[in-house]
């Protein structure tokens, strides 16, 4: 299967804001196993701004939000891609960095060009590691978050499945911290989940369950099944692909 896998900032960041390289390494191990099983992977990874912020702790104070995003993403993206590059290299897997903007998904020429870039990478067995180019994205024209970007990528690449990894198991019937809340494991096409969705967004990334659920419904309605799961759970990607019925996650059927 062709899989678009999105890893959120909160999966890759420790409590103190630093990059969780142990987690990254474990996710890379899992992606390497998925490749061995014959799956093709497009990785959409957040974490640039969060890891740049962790790296530049000493200069937080006086920057406005645009300056912060540009500076932190510039530094953090280097760190992030370097780590991925080294971790995947241990498996003899080549990866390439794709930094993109919303424009590349809007008009036809840009769209074709972006699609061609991913095609040539996949054809040559290079894993695209995609992120928004936060250094040049204009605030008004940005992707809502990388959930939106991953949905667009899954559609552009005609993926069979989109897996969105966050730090929660999926969509619950109430606040996930409330013991009475239940994880919704299957979402049938057209099911409206708005009554269940918490509106708060993540502390370190831009997304939240509302955006994940919106993206997931849209992508599923275009024929691509979507799984939302907890990227901090051990071997989560393997379990999703081999034993989904016994794995905590929310699957949007298409
Ligand atoms: N592109 C941002 C980053 O790498 C993440 C955006 C999001 O949180 O969805 O930090």
pLDDT band at residue 51 under the 50/70/90 scheme: very high
The residue whose CB lies within 8 Å of the most ligand 1 atoms, and thus the one to mutate among 10, 50, 167, 200, is: 50
CATH number, domain 2-252, options 3.40.50.10490, 3.40.50.300, 1.10.3720.10, 3.40.1160.10: 3.40.1160.10
Q: Indicate if the pLDDT at residue 138 is higher than 90.
A: no
Measure 48 CA to ligand 1 centroid, in angstroms: 6
The alpha carbon of 113 and the centre of ligand 1 are apart by a number of angstroms equal to 23
Residue-range domain boundaries for the chain? 2-252
The yes-or-no verdict on residue 107 having pLDDT over 90 is: no
Q: What is the DSSP string of 117-183?
A: HHHHHHHTTEEEEEEE-TTT--GGGS-SSHHHHHHHHHHHTT-SEEEEEESSSS-BSS-TTSTT--B
Percent of the chain with pLDDT over 70: 97
Under a CB-based contact definition with an 8 Å cutoff, are residues 176 and 125 in contact? no
CB 100, CB 161: distance < 8 Å: no
Measured between alpha carbons, how far is 135 from 75 in angstroms, rounded to an integer?
10
15-19, 60-64, 160-164: which has the minimum mean pLDDT? 60-64
- If you average pLDDT over every residue of the chain, what do you get? 94
10, 131, 136, 142, best to mutate for ligand 1 pocket (most atoms within 8 Å of CB): 131
Ligand 1 atom closest to 132 (CA): 1
3-state secondary structure of 190: coil
Quick check: 104 pLDDT over 80?
Answer: yes
Q: Which is nearest to 4 in space by CA: 35, 34, 40?
A: 40
Q: Does 76 score more than 90 pLDDT? A: yes
Binding pocket residue ranges, ligand 1, CB within 6 Å: 9, 46-50, 73, 131-132, 134, 145-146, 205-207
Q: What is the spatial distance between Cα 6 and Cα 42, in angstroms, rounded to a whole number?
A: 8
Task: Quote the pLDDT of residue 70.
Answer: 94
Backbone conformation region of residue 183, classed left if phi is above 0, alpha if psi is from -120 to 50, else beta: beta
- pLDDT at residue 109, as a whole number: 93
Q: How far is the CA of 123 from the centre of ligand 1 (A)?
A: 27
Helix (H) / strand (E) element for 218: namely helix 209-221
Structural contact between residues 6 and 147, judged by C-beta atoms closer than 8 angstroms: yes
Interatomic CA distance for residues 194 and 66, integer angstroms: 31
CA of 147 to the centre of ligand 1 (A): 9
Q: pLDDT tens-digit profile of 164-214?
A: 999 999 999 988 888 999 999 999 998 988 888 866 666 677 778 888 999
Cα 170 from Cα 230, distance rounded (Å): 7
């Amino acid at each position: 299967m062709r899989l678009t896998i999105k890893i959120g900032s909160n999966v890759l960041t420790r409590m103190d804001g630093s990059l969780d390289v142990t987690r990254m390494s474990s996710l890379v191990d899992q992606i390497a196993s998925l490749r061995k099983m014959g799956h093709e992977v497009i990785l959409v990874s957040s974490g640039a701004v969060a890891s740049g912020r962790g790296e530049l702790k000493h200069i937080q104070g006086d920057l406005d939000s645009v300056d912060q995003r540009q500076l932190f993403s510039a530094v953090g993206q280097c760190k992030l891609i370097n780590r991925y590059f080294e971790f995947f290299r241990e498996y003899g897997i080549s990866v390439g960095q794709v930094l993109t903007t919303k424009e590349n998904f809007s008009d036809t020429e840009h769209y074709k060009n972006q699609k061609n870039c991913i095609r040539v990478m996949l054809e040559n067995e290079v894993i695209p590691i995609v992120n928004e180019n936060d250094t040049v994205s204009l605030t008004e024209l940005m992707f809502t978050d990388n959930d939106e970007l991953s949905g667009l990528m899954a559609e552009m690449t005609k993926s069979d499945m989109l897996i969105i990894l966050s730090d929660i198991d999926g969509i619950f019937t109430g606040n996930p911290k409330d013991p009475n809340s239940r994880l919704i494991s299957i979402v049938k096409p057209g099911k409206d989940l708005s009554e269940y969705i918490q509106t708060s967004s993540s502390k370190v990334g831009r997304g939240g369950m509302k955006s994940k659920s919106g993206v997931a419904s849209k992508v599923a309605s275009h024929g691509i099944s979507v799984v939302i799961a907890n990227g901090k759970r051990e071997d989560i990607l393997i379990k999703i692909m081999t034993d989904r019925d016994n794995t905590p996650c929310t699957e949007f059927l298409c």
